[in-house]
Amino acid sequence: MRDKMASQNTNTELVIIGGSAGSLQVILDMLRRLRPKLGFPIILVLHRKAQTPGVLPLLLEQLSPMKVAELEDKTDLLPDVLYIAPADYHLLFEDKTLVSLDGSEKVHYSRPSIDVCFQSAAEAFGKGLVGVLLSGANADGVEGLKDIRRSGGTAWVQDPLTAEVDYMPRLAIDNGAYDKIFNPTELAELINSL
């Protein structure tokens, strides 16, 4: 684990994990070691096809120690729930407890966009936010991580050497958009320690 800054976020209110190609296995491995009572929600923002049936929530539910729910428009966020951003909608934060869905143009060919979600969450949560960027094949998430850091939040990036598709995490690191570079085997422990 390489740290750019020594600071550790101790007042976490939300963790958002963004990923694309090659990120699902990292998430499945993380869930096996995650504590059920964290005191904050986790949101997954994954690039997936709009036509994909709802098998992802069922798969995650089998492994997650936390309750799993797919986000709907005007969902109130609750602690100790693993939320999944629905396919084909951007996820926006009206405040720290309420999210809304948006069907506007794709960003980086993606909807939901990791950037859009990170940027909106950074405005709502500031230093209470941890953004995590995993494996992926485009630039989505990099600008959002910069916004998280500018707002006082914490940005973690998967070590590109461990990523199935290293473009997204490598671009984040090349742009200085991180506080910590982690190995996937460390992710659950890092989240459990928040």
Q: Would you call 90 a catalytic residue per the annotation?
A: no
Of the candidates 64, 90, 115, 140, the residue annotated as catalytic is 140
Q: Would you call 47 a catalytic residue per the annotation?
A: yes
Q: Would you call 108 a catalytic residue per the annotation?
A: no
What percent helix, strand, coil does the chain show, rounded to 5?
Answer: 30, 25, 45
Give how far Cα 150 sits from Cα of 42, 83, 125, 154, 174, Å.
21, 25, 12, 9, 17
Q: Residue 57 — very low, low, confident or very high, per pLDDT cuts 50/70/90?
A: confident
**β pairing state of 42-46 and 75-76:** unpaired
Domain parsing of the chain, residue ranges: 10-192
What pLDDT is attached to residue 174? Answer: 98
What pLDDT is attached to residue 139? Answer: 95
Q: Is the peptide bond before 65 cis (omega within 30 degrees of 0)?
A: no
The type of residue at 72 is E
Distance (Å, whole) CA 21 – CA 137:
6
The type of residue at 106 is K
pLDDT in tens, 140-179: 999 999 999 999 999 999 999 999 999 999 999 999 999 9
pTM score, whole prediction: 0.93
Mean pLDDT to the nearest integer, 172-191 = 97
Decide if domain 10-192 falls under CATH 3.40.50.180. yes
Of the candidates 20, 23, 110, 120, the residue annotated as catalytic is 20
Give how far Cα 149 sits from Cα of 25, 70, 167, Å.
26, 27, 20
What pLDDT is attached to residue 10? Answer: 58
Of the candidates 23, 47, 90, 108, the residue annotated as catalytic is 47
Is pLDDT at 53 greater than 70 in this prediction?
no
Mean pLDDT to the nearest integer, 169-192 = 97
